[in-house]
Structure 1
Amino acid sequence: MLSTLTLLQFRSHRRAEIRCDGRPVAIYGPNGAGKTSVLEAVSLLSPGRGLRRAAAEELIRRQEHVGWKIRAELNGHEVETHALPGSPREVRVDGKVVPQVALGAVARVLWLVPAMDRLWIEGAEGRRRFLDRMTLSFAPGHAEAVLDYEKAMRERNRLLKDQAQDRGWYEVLEARMAEAGARIRAARALALGRIAAAQAGAATAFPAAELVVTGEGPAELAAAWAADRRRDLAAGRTLEGPHRADLEAVYAEKATPAAQCSTGEQKALLISLLLANARAVERPVLLLDEVAAHLDSARRAALYDEICQLSAHVWMTGTERVLFDTLGARAQYLEVSDTAGMSDVREVTP
């Protein structure tokens, strides 16, 4: 559970302090007030660049431009992440500087944001990020495997671009890529199995999705890269492997690919997957940005009922308090307002 959250000079928030009691957190206020920024701050308590994939410099409150800081009490740990102007962000857990990947062992942070509504019909990169975020919740070491793979691949791609012919260098890098790639594939397979099991036994108002990963390349990756080296040299990059994977989904009840479903069905599938993910891991933090806006009242009430059954600590945003009315006293309410370019967060009694 996220017990406390403090934002300092973050986005439009000069200072915000939030104390939580474990109930779902419903954040409401007008567009542009800083609601999503609160969720973004929580998302940065996990590895990566957060739910908006912003660079550290973009998170600085521009009026003062002195750097930003996020502090939290999360699952019994004191977590801090911050960045000064022109510097990368730093992470501390219980007072010790740690790499970002270490955050994966502290908490599982999952999210659904409006930008993901087109996930099933746009490019594979977004689906791959969605898959790896899901995978990270089951296998905290997945982030390190991805970093190892990408580092070795960048070095191989540099050789390819330079038209290097030294077979020994390629073999060393391809062996490193194959080892990391095998870990990536195994973790992704684990995640899909856990998601399938969580969907199979669930009483839910949302449709189940059948998931499959494609395009990861053959099982013997090192041999495949060696055989394809001439083709990769011509392209100047590595053309196959886990970095080319795609996530395909099928609306199970209708046997319809997600890409061919209606907009509403695609959103419902995403919500279903996030709920299944939250059911399948221990004490996750689940961030739902504007999730209620496009649901009818019955589906919205069903979502809230399911949320309250989860062991997850759920944070939601919406433009109006009325969107959360069916939650009643089951939720903690925060109102966000914007005065003269500065966001203000205050708790409201239900």
Structure 2
Amino acid sequence: MNATYPFAAMVGQQDMKLSLILNVINPGLSGVLIRGEKGTGKSTAARALAEILPEIEVVDNCPFNLAPNECASALCQSCTVAECGFTRAEGGQPKSHARPVKVVELPVGATEDRVVGAIDLERALKEGEKHFEPGILAQAHRAILYVDEVNLLEDHVVDVLLDSAAMGVNTVEREGVSFSHPARFTLVGTMNPEEGELRPQLLDRFGLCVLVQGLSNANDRVEIMERRLAYEHDPEAFARSYDDASRQLTAKIRQARERWPLVQADRQIMLRIARACLQVGVDGHRGDIITLKTAKALAAWQGRLSVDAADVDRALELVLPHRVRRKPFEEVAATGSPFRAA
């Protein structure tokens, strides 16, 4: 299997790369929607993101990708997987191992049961025993859930994804029988607007939204060609040449994730956010909340423990484009300066 194209080797597309990193720092941002024409690196960036993330500790053979400290829940007590590290635990300590974060891809034709999982109702009714067949959301816990052509998915499936991304839990209910499991993941959706838009209600559920286009600088385009040819000639050697840059990114992300809970934003910062959202006519309060979270993630990424005005202005550029009121048939606004706070 060829080495993944390194995230650190991507040329340009700063908004896209920053949005992905911010969602890793704080998965509570509810994901990022990357809109753009074909051939602009959307899929490459999403798949490469896992290569720069710190390794995670996972219980052996756990179908829900749980960390050892998550095993005290009722979920593990009722688990029927005989090979699970929790069931073979010695002295109450589950067997676990470290592994890289995975990129879980959701196919366009996936059904709701394939996404959320399925409850065996016959066993539940006859034997009084819950038996749950995990779905894609179980695989995506503590991972990156990548949805290509998200605009072509059924609306109710997209809604389920966004609900789980926001709540961090997947709950399946069938005929009065319910089952819940953790589902905290970084949601990355990509789409080509020429193939149709998402409904505004679904657009608003994505935390961040960026528009990517082909680069306009000739030297940058040449750099892309040269790097791509070098990668195709020898993927492993090309990936190794970016090992140092990838390790630096990984370390910076790890530090930012540890720093994020400590970042503070004073009332003046919150007023700046609220006024900016009112100024462009944002409906509801989700935009305000996501902007605050994004500004805090930006501060953590920059190595600070307090949010400043520049963080807010940058966050607004990533959070508001798809939330501004539009006329019928009007396209989603591009990322940029019109969304800066007054």
* Structure holding more strand per residue: 1
TM value normalised by structure 1: 0.32
